[in-house]
Chain A
Amino acid sequence: TPEPSAQDVSLSVDWLTRYGYLPPPHPAQAQLQSPEQLRDAIKIMQRFAGLKETGLMDEATLATMKKPRCSLPDVLGVAGLVRRRR
Protein backbone atom coordinates (compact mmCIF):
# COMPACT_ATOMS: atom_id res chain seq x y z
CA THR A 1 0.00 0.00 0.00
CA PRO A 2 1.54 3.35 -0.97
CA GLU A 3 2.06 5.76 1.91
CA PRO A 4 -0.63 8.46 2.02
CA SER A 5 0.61 11.98 1.39
CA ALA A 6 1.06 14.37 4.29
CA GLN A 7 -1.88 16.35 2.97
CA ASP A 8 -4.08 13.26 2.93
CA VAL A 9 -3.08 12.43 6.51
CA SER A 10 -3.82 15.96 7.61
CA LEU A 11 -7.19 16.01 5.86
CA SER A 12 -8.01 12.59 7.25
CA VAL A 13 -7.26 13.60 10.82
CA ASP A 14 -9.43 16.65 10.32
CA TRP A 15 -12.20 14.47 8.86
CA LEU A 16 -11.96 11.90 11.68
CA THR A 17 -12.15 14.68 14.26
CA ARG A 18 -15.03 16.47 12.58
CA TYR A 19 -17.16 13.33 12.41
CA GLY A 20 -16.46 12.23 15.97
CA TYR A 21 -13.93 9.43 15.50
CA LEU A 22 -11.13 11.38 17.19
CA PRO A 23 -11.57 13.67 20.21
CA PRO A 24 -11.73 17.39 19.41
CA PRO A 25 -8.48 19.26 20.01
CA HIS A 26 -8.18 21.00 23.34
CA PRO A 27 -8.23 24.79 22.83
CA ALA A 28 -5.43 25.40 25.33
CA GLN A 29 -2.92 22.74 24.40
CA ALA A 30 -1.40 21.13 21.36
CA GLN A 31 -2.84 17.72 20.62
CA LEU A 32 -0.64 14.71 20.34
CA GLN A 33 -2.23 11.63 18.91
CA SER A 34 -0.66 8.22 19.26
CA PRO A 35 -0.46 6.02 16.16
CA GLU A 36 -2.61 3.47 18.04
CA GLN A 37 -5.33 6.05 18.67
CA LEU A 38 -5.32 7.04 15.02
CA ARG A 39 -5.39 3.43 13.86
CA ASP A 40 -8.34 2.64 16.15
CA ALA A 41 -10.21 5.71 14.88
CA ILE A 42 -9.61 4.66 11.27
CA LYS A 43 -10.78 1.13 12.06
CA ILE A 44 -14.00 2.36 13.60
CA MET A 45 -14.57 4.65 10.64
CA GLN A 46 -13.92 1.75 8.25
CA ARG A 47 -16.37 -0.44 10.11
CA PHE A 48 -18.99 2.30 10.11
CA ALA A 49 -18.55 2.82 6.38
CA GLY A 50 -18.60 -0.92 5.61
CA LEU A 51 -14.96 -0.98 4.48
CA LYS A 52 -12.29 -3.56 5.21
CA GLU A 53 -10.87 -2.81 8.67
CA THR A 54 -7.20 -2.20 7.98
CA GLY A 55 -6.55 0.70 10.32
CA LEU A 56 -4.65 2.31 7.45
CA MET A 57 -5.49 5.33 5.35
CA ASP A 58 -5.79 3.21 2.23
CA GLU A 59 -7.30 4.26 -1.06
CA ALA A 60 -10.82 3.05 -0.26
CA THR A 61 -10.78 4.90 3.06
CA LEU A 62 -9.56 8.14 1.53
CA ALA A 63 -12.13 7.84 -1.26
CA THR A 64 -14.92 7.34 1.27
CA MET A 65 -13.77 10.41 3.17
CA LYS A 66 -14.23 12.42 -0.01
CA LYS A 67 -17.82 11.24 -0.60
CA PRO A 68 -20.66 13.75 -0.24
CA ARG A 69 -22.31 13.34 3.13
CA CYS A 70 -24.32 14.78 6.01
CA SER A 71 -22.49 17.34 8.18
CA LEU A 72 -23.37 15.71 11.48
CA PRO A 73 -20.83 13.51 13.30
CA ASP A 74 -21.12 9.72 13.09
CA VAL A 75 -19.96 9.20 16.65
CA LEU A 76 -21.93 11.27 19.11
CA GLY A 77 -19.46 11.51 21.96
CA VAL A 78 -18.73 14.42 24.19
CA ALA A 79 -18.30 16.65 21.12
CA GLY A 80 -21.83 15.95 19.96
CA LEU A 81 -23.30 16.65 23.36
CA VAL A 82 -21.41 19.91 23.75
CA ARG A 83 -22.59 21.06 20.34
CA ARG A 84 -26.18 20.26 21.14
CA ARG A 85 -26.03 22.12 24.43
CA ARG A 86 -24.49 25.16 22.84
Chain B
Amino acid sequence: YALTGSFWKKKQLFWRVRSFPQGSALSQDIVRNLMHYALTAWGTEVGMTFQEAEPRVGTEPEILIDFARAYHKDSYPFDGPGGTLAHAFFPGDHPISGDTHFDDEEVWTFGESDSGGTDLFAVAVHEFGHALGLAHSSAPNSIMRPFYQGPAGDPSKYRLPPDDREGIQQLYGKGPNSPHPEPTRKPLVPPPQPPGQPPDSPSAPVPDRCSGNFDAIANIRGEVFFFKGPWFWRLQPSGQLVSPRPAKLHRFWEGLPEHVVTVDAAYSRPSDGRILLFSGRQFWVFQDRQLEAGSPKLLTELGLPPGEVVDAVFSWPQNGKTYLIRGEQYWRFDEAVHSVDPGYPKNLNLWEGAPSAPDDVTIGNKGDTYFFKGTEYWRFAPGSVVAEPGSPHPMGPDWLDCPPSAPGPPAPRPSKSPRNCQCEINQ
Protein backbone atom coordinates (compact mmCIF):
# COMPACT_ATOMS: atom_id res chain seq x y z
CA TYR B 1 0.00 0.00 0.00
CA ALA B 2 1.00 3.61 -0.29
CA LEU B 3 -0.28 6.60 1.63
CA THR B 4 -0.80 10.01 0.04
CA GLY B 5 0.13 11.88 3.19
CA SER B 6 -3.34 13.32 3.71
CA PHE B 7 -6.26 11.99 5.75
CA TRP B 8 -9.47 13.17 7.39
CA LYS B 9 -9.19 14.36 10.95
CA LYS B 10 -12.75 13.30 11.80
CA LYS B 11 -14.28 9.86 12.16
CA GLN B 12 -17.69 10.67 10.65
CA LEU B 13 -17.95 11.79 7.03
CA PHE B 14 -20.94 12.69 4.91
CA TRP B 15 -21.48 11.67 1.30
CA ARG B 16 -24.03 12.28 -1.44
CA VAL B 17 -24.53 11.22 -5.04
CA ARG B 18 -24.89 14.56 -6.83
CA SER B 19 -25.41 13.15 -10.31
CA PHE B 20 -26.46 9.64 -11.29
CA PRO B 21 -25.49 7.66 -14.43
CA GLN B 22 -27.59 8.47 -17.44
CA GLY B 23 -28.97 5.60 -19.43
CA SER B 24 -27.65 2.97 -17.01
CA ALA B 25 -29.52 -0.16 -16.10
CA LEU B 26 -28.72 0.58 -12.47
CA SER B 27 -31.45 2.44 -10.62
CA GLN B 28 -30.58 5.40 -8.42
CA ASP B 29 -31.34 3.33 -5.32
CA ILE B 30 -28.93 0.61 -6.41
CA VAL B 31 -26.22 3.19 -7.08
CA ARG B 32 -26.74 4.72 -3.62
CA ASN B 33 -26.67 1.28 -2.01
CA LEU B 34 -23.46 0.33 -3.79
CA MET B 35 -21.83 3.58 -2.61
CA HIS B 36 -22.97 2.87 0.93
CA TYR B 37 -21.47 -0.63 0.91
CA ALA B 38 -18.24 0.55 -0.74
CA LEU B 39 -17.70 3.17 1.97
CA THR B 40 -18.67 0.75 4.72
CA ALA B 41 -15.99 -1.68 3.55
CA TRP B 42 -13.38 0.93 4.59
CA GLY B 43 -15.27 2.25 7.60
CA THR B 44 -15.59 -1.06 9.42
CA GLU B 45 -11.84 -1.56 9.37
CA VAL B 46 -11.07 1.75 11.03
CA GLY B 47 -14.17 2.64 13.03
CA MET B 48 -15.30 5.42 10.67
CA THR B 49 -18.94 6.06 9.82
CA PHE B 50 -20.31 7.43 6.56
CA GLN B 51 -23.70 9.08 6.48
CA GLU B 52 -25.62 9.93 3.36
CA ALA B 53 -26.40 13.65 3.32
CA GLU B 54 -29.77 15.00 2.22
CA PRO B 55 -29.61 17.21 -0.89
CA ARG B 56 -29.39 20.95 -0.20
CA VAL B 57 -29.41 20.60 3.60
CA GLY B 58 -26.73 22.24 5.71
CA THR B 59 -23.12 22.04 4.65
CA GLU B 60 -21.67 20.21 1.67
CA PRO B 61 -20.75 16.57 2.35
CA GLU B 62 -17.07 15.68 2.28
CA ILE B 63 -17.56 13.05 -0.44
CA LEU B 64 -19.60 14.28 -3.40
CA ILE B 65 -20.15 11.62 -6.05
CA ASP B 66 -20.69 12.43 -9.71
CA PHE B 67 -21.12 10.50 -12.93
CA ALA B 68 -19.57 12.77 -15.54
CA ARG B 69 -18.47 12.70 -19.18
CA ALA B 70 -15.32 13.91 -20.94
CA TYR B 71 -14.03 17.23 -19.61
CA HIS B 72 -15.86 17.95 -16.38
CA LYS B 73 -13.95 20.87 -14.88
CA ASP B 74 -11.13 19.06 -13.13
CA SER B 75 -7.64 17.92 -14.20
CA TYR B 76 -8.76 14.45 -15.23
CA PRO B 77 -11.10 14.43 -18.25
CA PHE B 78 -12.78 11.12 -19.01
CA ASP B 79 -12.21 9.32 -22.30
CA GLY B 80 -15.41 7.44 -23.12
CA PRO B 81 -15.86 3.66 -22.78
CA GLY B 82 -12.76 1.83 -21.52
CA GLY B 83 -9.53 3.63 -20.66
CA THR B 84 -9.97 5.65 -17.52
CA LEU B 85 -12.95 4.63 -15.39
CA ALA B 86 -13.01 6.93 -12.38
CA HIS B 87 -10.97 9.05 -10.00
CA ALA B 88 -11.23 10.61 -6.57
CA PHE B 89 -9.57 13.48 -4.75
CA PHE B 90 -7.47 12.94 -1.66
CA PRO B 91 -8.58 14.27 1.75
CA GLY B 92 -7.97 17.93 2.49
CA ASP B 93 -9.53 21.33 3.04
CA HIS B 94 -10.27 22.15 -0.60
CA PRO B 95 -13.97 21.87 -1.60
CA ILE B 96 -13.11 19.14 -4.12
CA SER B 97 -11.20 17.02 -1.55
CA GLY B 98 -12.83 13.61 -1.16
CA ASP B 99 -15.02 14.03 -4.24
CA THR B 100 -15.32 10.99 -6.46
CA HIS B 101 -16.07 10.97 -10.17
CA PHE B 102 -17.11 8.03 -12.36
CA ASP B 103 -17.01 8.06 -16.17
CA ASP B 104 -20.66 8.11 -17.20
CA GLU B 105 -19.78 6.61 -20.57
CA GLU B 106 -18.80 3.27 -19.03
CA VAL B 107 -21.34 0.47 -18.92
CA TRP B 108 -21.76 0.29 -15.16
CA THR B 109 -22.98 -3.03 -13.85
CA PHE B 110 -23.38 -4.78 -10.57
CA GLY B 111 -23.03 -8.46 -9.77
CA GLU B 112 -22.36 -9.51 -13.36
CA SER B 113 -19.44 -11.07 -15.12
CA ASP B 114 -16.76 -8.93 -16.77
CA SER B 115 -18.29 -9.18 -20.22
CA GLY B 116 -21.42 -7.28 -19.17
CA GLY B 117 -19.59 -4.09 -18.24
CA THR B 118 -17.65 -2.65 -15.33
CA ASP B 119 -18.58 -3.51 -11.75
CA LEU B 120 -19.51 -0.22 -10.11
CA PHE B 121 -19.03 -1.58 -6.60
CA ALA B 122 -15.41 -2.70 -7.25
CA VAL B 123 -14.49 0.67 -8.77
CA ALA B 124 -16.24 2.56 -5.96
CA VAL B 125 -14.30 0.69 -3.26
CA HIS B 126 -11.06 1.57 -5.08
CA GLU B 127 -11.95 5.25 -5.50
CA PHE B 128 -13.09 5.67 -1.91
CA GLY B 129 -9.66 4.34 -0.90
CA HIS B 130 -8.27 7.46 -2.61
CA ALA B 131 -10.92 9.68 -1.04
CA LEU B 132 -9.74 8.44 2.36
CA GLY B 133 -6.02 8.99 1.68
CA LEU B 134 -4.59 5.90 -0.03
CA ALA B 135 -2.58 6.01 -3.24
CA HIS B 136 -2.21 3.15 -5.71
CA SER B 137 -0.78 -0.11 -4.46
CA SER B 138 1.35 -2.62 -6.34
CA ALA B 139 0.34 -5.53 -4.07
CA PRO B 140 -1.12 -8.31 -6.23
CA ASN B 141 -4.46 -8.70 -4.41
CA SER B 142 -5.02 -5.09 -3.40
CA ILE B 143 -8.22 -3.29 -4.38
CA MET B 144 -5.97 -0.21 -4.72
CA ARG B 145 -4.17 -1.63 -7.74
CA PRO B 146 -4.72 0.94 -10.48
CA PHE B 147 -6.10 -1.53 -13.03
CA TYR B 148 -9.68 -2.78 -13.03
CA GLN B 149 -9.63 -6.36 -11.75
CA GLY B 150 -13.21 -7.47 -12.34
CA PRO B 151 -16.26 -7.74 -10.08
CA ALA B 152 -15.65 -7.69 -6.32
CA GLY B 153 -18.55 -9.98 -5.40
CA ASP B 154 -21.44 -9.47 -3.00
CA PRO B 155 -21.14 -5.92 -1.57
CA SER B 156 -22.78 -6.90 1.73
CA LYS B 157 -20.16 -9.60 2.32
CA TYR B 158 -17.16 -7.80 0.83
CA ARG B 159 -14.05 -7.40 2.99
CA LEU B 160 -10.90 -5.50 2.10
CA PRO B 161 -7.75 -7.45 1.18
CA PRO B 162 -5.00 -7.43 3.84
CA ASP B 163 -2.79 -4.87 2.04
CA ASP B 164 -5.61 -2.33 1.96
CA ARG B 165 -6.62 -2.99 5.56
CA GLU B 166 -3.04 -2.40 6.66
CA GLY B 167 -2.86 0.82 4.66
CA ILE B 168 -6.11 2.33 5.91
CA GLN B 169 -5.34 1.34 9.49
CA GLN B 170 -2.01 3.16 9.21
CA LEU B 171 -4.03 6.31 8.57
CA TYR B 172 -6.94 5.96 10.98
CA GLY B 173 -6.05 3.14 13.40
CA LYS B 174 -7.98 -0.06 13.87
CA GLY B 175 -11.74 0.11 14.36
CA PRO B 176 -13.36 -1.43 17.42
CA ASN B 177 -15.49 -3.65 15.22
CA SER B 178 -12.84 -4.55 12.70
CA PRO B 179 -13.90 -7.93 11.34
CA HIS B 180 -10.29 -9.04 11.13
CA PRO B 181 -8.77 -8.77 14.59
CA GLU B 182 -5.08 -9.49 14.53
CA PRO B 183 -4.07 -12.49 16.58
CA THR B 184 -2.81 -11.40 19.96
CA ARG B 185 0.92 -11.33 19.86
CA LYS B 186 2.95 -12.74 22.65
CA PRO B 187 4.23 -9.74 24.60
CA LEU B 188 7.92 -9.12 24.71
CA VAL B 189 8.95 -9.93 28.25
CA PRO B 190 12.45 -10.06 29.64
CA PRO B 191 13.69 -13.61 30.10
CA PRO B 192 13.97 -15.01 33.60
CA GLN B 193 17.33 -14.35 35.17
CA PRO B 194 19.61 -17.30 35.71
CA PRO B 195 19.78 -18.31 39.37
CA GLY B 196 22.45 -16.72 41.48
CA GLN B 197 22.97 -13.78 39.13
CA PRO B 198 21.09 -10.68 40.23
CA PRO B 199 19.88 -8.59 37.28
CA ASP B 200 21.59 -5.44 38.43
CA SER B 201 24.82 -6.95 39.54
CA PRO B 202 26.98 -3.97 40.49
CA SER B 203 30.09 -5.84 39.46
CA ALA B 204 29.28 -5.73 35.75
CA PRO B 205 30.43 -2.52 34.08
CA VAL B 206 27.80 -1.12 31.75
CA PRO B 207 27.99 1.61 29.12
CA ASP B 208 26.60 5.09 29.74
CA ARG B 209 23.32 5.60 27.90
CA CYS B 210 23.63 9.39 28.15
CA SER B 211 26.74 9.45 25.99
CA GLY B 212 24.68 8.47 22.92
CA ASN B 213 26.50 6.91 19.96
CA PHE B 214 24.27 3.86 19.88
CA ASP B 215 24.95 1.04 17.47
CA ALA B 216 21.28 0.64 16.59
CA ILE B 217 17.87 1.98 17.57
CA ALA B 218 14.58 0.34 16.66
CA ASN B 219 10.90 0.67 17.45
CA ILE B 220 9.70 -2.83 18.22
CA ARG B 221 5.95 -3.03 18.87
CA GLY B 222 5.81 0.47 20.30
CA GLU B 223 8.91 0.21 22.47
CA VAL B 224 12.16 1.84 21.37
CA PHE B 225 15.25 -0.36 21.81
CA PHE B 226 18.65 1.32 22.08
CA PHE B 227 21.53 -1.06 21.34
CA LYS B 228 25.12 -0.44 22.43
CA GLY B 229 27.65 -3.25 22.31
CA PRO B 230 26.23 -6.37 23.96
CA TRP B 231 23.67 -4.26 25.85
CA PHE B 232 20.36 -2.57 25.18
CA TRP B 233 17.86 -0.28 26.87
CA ARG B 234 14.10 -0.28 26.33
CA LEU B 235 11.89 2.77 26.32
CA GLN B 236 8.20 2.08 26.89
CA PRO B 237 5.51 3.86 24.82
CA SER B 238 4.80 6.03 27.88
CA GLY B 239 8.34 7.43 27.59
CA GLN B 240 9.63 5.57 30.66
CA LEU B 241 12.78 3.47 30.53
CA VAL B 242 12.12 -0.13 31.56
CA SER B 243 15.30 0.23 33.60
CA PRO B 244 18.13 2.77 33.62
CA ARG B 245 20.42 -0.24 33.58
CA PRO B 246 20.77 -1.99 30.23
CA ALA B 247 19.88 -5.62 29.57
CA LYS B 248 22.27 -8.13 28.06
CA LEU B 249 21.77 -8.79 24.38
CA HIS B 250 22.18 -12.55 24.55
CA ARG B 251 19.89 -13.06 27.52
CA PHE B 252 17.02 -11.54 25.60
CA TRP B 253 17.50 -12.48 21.96
CA GLU B 254 17.48 -16.24 22.27
CA GLY B 255 19.67 -17.93 19.69
CA LEU B 256 21.76 -14.91 18.76
CA PRO B 257 25.29 -16.32 18.49
CA GLU B 258 27.70 -15.28 21.25
CA HIS B 259 30.16 -13.89 18.73
CA VAL B 260 27.66 -11.22 17.69
CA VAL B 261 28.47 -8.50 20.18
CA THR B 262 27.17 -5.46 18.33
CA VAL B 263 23.99 -4.81 16.38
CA ASP B 264 24.56 -2.36 13.53
CA ALA B 265 20.87 -1.82 12.75
CA ALA B 266 17.51 -3.30 13.70
CA TYR B 267 13.90 -2.98 12.69
CA SER B 268 10.56 -4.70 13.02
CA ARG B 269 9.17 -5.96 9.69
CA PRO B 270 5.57 -4.73 9.50
CA SER B 271 4.36 -7.46 7.12
CA ASP B 272 4.86 -10.28 9.60
CA GLY B 273 6.07 -8.67 12.83
CA ARG B 274 9.48 -10.38 12.62
CA ILE B 275 12.41 -8.52 14.18
CA LEU B 276 15.60 -8.27 12.16
CA LEU B 277 18.98 -7.60 13.77
CA PHE B 278 21.82 -6.65 11.44
CA SER B 279 25.49 -7.16 12.24
CA GLY B 280 28.27 -6.98 9.66
CA ARG B 281 27.21 -8.51 6.37
CA GLN B 282 24.53 -10.70 7.93
CA PHE B 283 21.18 -10.37 9.61
CA TRP B 284 19.24 -12.54 12.02
CA VAL B 285 15.44 -12.90 12.00
CA PHE B 286 13.53 -13.29 15.26
CA GLN B 287 9.94 -14.19 15.97
CA ASP B 288 9.29 -12.55 19.32
CA ARG B 289 12.56 -13.33 21.13
CA GLN B 290 13.37 -16.61 19.38
CA LEU B 291 15.74 -16.87 16.46
CA GLU B 292 14.10 -18.31 13.37
CA ALA B 293 15.52 -21.24 11.46
CA GLY B 294 17.45 -20.12 8.40
CA SER B 295 19.32 -17.30 10.15
CA PRO B 296 21.72 -15.71 9.61
CA LYS B 297 21.07 -14.44 6.12
CA LEU B 298 23.33 -12.35 3.94
CA LEU B 299 22.65 -8.72 3.11
CA THR B 300 23.00 -9.65 -0.54
CA GLU B 301 19.68 -11.48 -0.15
CA LEU B 302 18.12 -8.02 0.28
CA GLY B 303 19.64 -6.92 -3.01
CA LEU B 304 22.60 -5.02 -1.57
CA PRO B 305 25.91 -5.30 -3.42
CA PRO B 306 28.35 -7.87 -1.97
CA GLY B 307 30.57 -6.47 0.75
CA GLU B 308 28.10 -3.85 1.96
CA VAL B 309 27.09 -3.41 5.58
CA VAL B 310 24.32 -1.12 6.80
CA ASP B 311 24.28 1.79 9.24
CA ALA B 312 20.51 2.00 9.55
CA VAL B 313 17.37 0.18 8.50
CA PHE B 314 13.76 1.22 8.87
CA SER B 315 10.35 0.58 7.36
CA TRP B 316 8.57 3.77 6.31
CA PRO B 317 4.83 3.64 7.11
CA GLN B 318 4.19 6.03 4.22
CA ASN B 319 4.69 3.26 1.66
CA GLY B 320 5.49 0.12 3.66
CA LYS B 321 8.93 -0.12 2.04
CA THR B 322 12.19 -0.83 3.84
CA TYR B 323 15.06 1.64 3.64
CA LEU B 324 18.64 0.45 4.08
CA ILE B 325 21.23 3.18 4.67
CA ARG B 326 24.96 2.98 4.26
CA GLY B 327 27.06 6.14 4.55
CA GLU B 328 25.57 8.70 2.21
CA GLN B 329 23.53 6.24 0.18
CA TYR B 330 20.32 4.33 0.68
CA TRP B 331 18.47 1.50 -0.99
CA ARG B 332 14.69 0.98 -0.99
CA PHE B 333 13.65 -2.63 -0.53
CA ASP B 334 10.22 -3.89 -1.54
CA GLU B 335 9.12 -6.67 0.83
CA ALA B 336 6.33 -7.73 -1.54
CA VAL B 337 8.65 -8.64 -4.42
CA HIS B 338 11.65 -9.23 -2.18
CA SER B 339 14.11 -7.04 -4.05
CA VAL B 340 15.55 -3.55 -4.15
CA ASP B 341 13.57 -1.06 -6.23
CA PRO B 342 15.14 0.03 -9.53
CA GLY B 343 17.09 3.27 -9.48
CA TYR B 344 18.73 2.65 -6.10
CA PRO B 345 21.01 3.40 -4.30
CA LYS B 346 20.16 7.08 -4.07
CA ASN B 347 21.88 9.85 -2.20
CA LEU B 348 20.77 10.25 1.39
CA ASN B 349 20.57 14.01 0.91
CA LEU B 350 17.12 13.37 -0.62
CA TRP B 351 16.18 13.22 3.08
CA GLU B 352 16.77 16.92 3.52
CA GLY B 353 18.75 17.69 6.67
CA ALA B 354 19.47 14.05 7.54
CA PRO B 355 22.97 13.22 8.76
CA SER B 356 25.10 10.87 6.67
CA ALA B 357 25.83 7.44 8.13
CA PRO B 358 23.26 7.75 10.92
CA ASP B 359 23.58 5.41 13.90
CA ASP B 360 20.06 4.28 13.03
CA VAL B 361 16.66 5.49 11.91
CA THR B 362 13.34 4.51 13.42
CA ILE B 363 9.67 5.39 13.29
CA GLY B 364 7.95 6.86 16.34
CA ASN B 365 4.56 5.67 17.54
CA LYS B 366 2.90 8.68 15.88
CA GLY B 367 4.50 8.03 12.50
CA ASP B 368 7.40 10.48 12.74
CA THR B 369 10.76 9.37 11.34
CA TYR B 370 13.76 9.83 13.62
CA PHE B 371 17.39 9.81 12.49
CA PHE B 372 19.89 9.31 15.31
CA LYS B 373 23.59 10.08 15.25
CA GLY B 374 25.98 10.59 18.15
CA THR B 375 24.07 12.39 20.88
CA GLU B 376 21.53 14.04 18.57
CA TYR B 377 18.37 13.21 16.69
CA TRP B 378 16.56 14.67 13.67
CA ARG B 379 12.78 14.50 13.46
CA PHE B 380 10.83 14.23 10.19
CA ALA B 381 7.07 14.73 10.40
CA PRO B 382 4.95 11.79 9.15
CA GLY B 383 5.38 11.47 5.39
CA SER B 384 7.89 14.31 5.19
CA VAL B 385 11.43 13.98 3.84
CA VAL B 386 12.49 17.35 5.26
CA ALA B 387 13.85 17.53 8.81
CA GLU B 388 11.74 19.72 11.10
CA PRO B 389 13.17 23.16 11.88
CA GLY B 390 15.42 23.14 14.91
CA SER B 391 16.82 19.67 14.18
CA PRO B 392 19.06 18.20 15.44
CA HIS B 393 17.98 17.99 19.06
CA PRO B 394 19.91 16.44 21.96
CA MET B 395 18.57 12.92 22.42
CA GLY B 396 19.52 12.31 26.06
CA PRO B 397 16.88 14.52 27.72
CA ASP B 398 14.15 13.68 25.22
CA TRP B 399 14.61 9.93 25.02
CA LEU B 400 16.78 8.52 27.76
CA ASP B 401 16.01 10.43 30.93
CA CYS B 402 19.38 12.18 30.86
CA PRO B 403 20.04 15.70 32.16
CA PRO B 404 20.48 18.38 29.49
CA SER B 405 24.14 19.06 28.90
CA ALA B 406 23.92 22.75 29.72
CA PRO B 407 27.04 24.86 29.39
CA GLY B 408 28.57 25.94 32.67
CA PRO B 409 30.47 24.35 35.51
CA PRO B 410 30.76 20.59 35.27
CA ALA B 411 28.35 18.59 37.39
CA PRO B 412 29.82 17.32 40.66
CA ARG B 413 31.21 13.86 40.22
CA PRO B 414 30.54 11.07 42.67
CA SER B 415 33.46 10.29 44.86
CA LYS B 416 33.54 6.73 43.56
CA SER B 417 33.04 5.51 40.06
CA PRO B 418 29.95 3.29 39.55
CA ARG B 419 32.25 0.40 38.95
CA ASN B 420 33.61 0.55 42.48
CA CYS B 421 30.57 1.68 44.42
CA GLN B 422 28.99 -0.57 47.00
CA CYS B 423 25.24 -0.70 46.72
CA GLU B 424 22.83 -1.40 49.54
CA ILE B 425 19.87 -3.56 48.75
CA ASN B 426 17.53 -0.58 48.46
CA GLN B 427 19.82 1.73 46.56
Give the interface of A toward B (CB within 8 A): 19, 40, 43-44, 47-50, 53, 64, 67-74, 76, 80, 83-84, 86
Contact = CB atoms under 8 A, between A and B. Distances in A.
Interface stretch (B14-22, B46-54, B87-95, B406-414): B87-95
Contacts of B136: 48, 70, 72-74
12 contacts: A43-B342, A44-B343, A68-B85, A68-B118, A69-B148, A70-B84, A70-B127, A71-B76, A71-B87, A72-B76, A74-B138, A84-B90
Contacts of B127: 70
A40 B343 contact: yes
Interface in B69-125: 75-76, 78, 82-90, 92, 106, 118, 123
A64 B138 CA distance: 14
A50 B87 CA distance: 22
A64 B147 contact: yes
A83 B74 CA distance: 10
Contacts of B88: 72
Nearest to B140: A50
A70 B126 contact: yes
A10 B267 CA distance: 43
Nearest to A49: B147
Nearest to A53: B342
Contacts of A47: 138, 334, 337, 341-342
Q: Output the residue of B6, B75, B135, B146 with the most chain A CB within 10 A.
A: B146
B2 interface: yes
Contacts of A67: 147-148
A71 B140 contact: no
A70 B86 contact: yes
Contacts of A44: 341-343
| Residue among A71, A73, A74 with the highest chain B CB neighbour number at 10 A | A71
Contacts, number: 75
A48 B138 CA distance: 5
Given A50-B140, A70-B126, A72-B136, A40 B82 contact: no
Given A69-B146, A74-B146, 7 more contacts: A19-B146, A68-B148, A69-B84, A71-B76, A71-B87, A76-B135, A84-B6
B95 to A, nearest CB: 13
A35 to B, nearest CB: 15
B130 interface: yes
A64 B148 CA distance: 11
A69 B342 contact: no
Given A69-B146, A70-B136, A84 B92 contact: yes
Interface in B391-427: none
A84 B89 CA distance: 8
A73 B92 CA distance: 18
Nearest to A37: B343
B4 interface: yes
Contacts of A70: 84-87, 123, 126-127, 130, 136, 146
A69 B147 contact: yes
B138 A50 contact: yes
Contacts of A49: 138, 147
Interface in B123-166: 123, 126-127, 130, 135-136, 138, 140, 146-148
A50 to B, nearest CB: 6
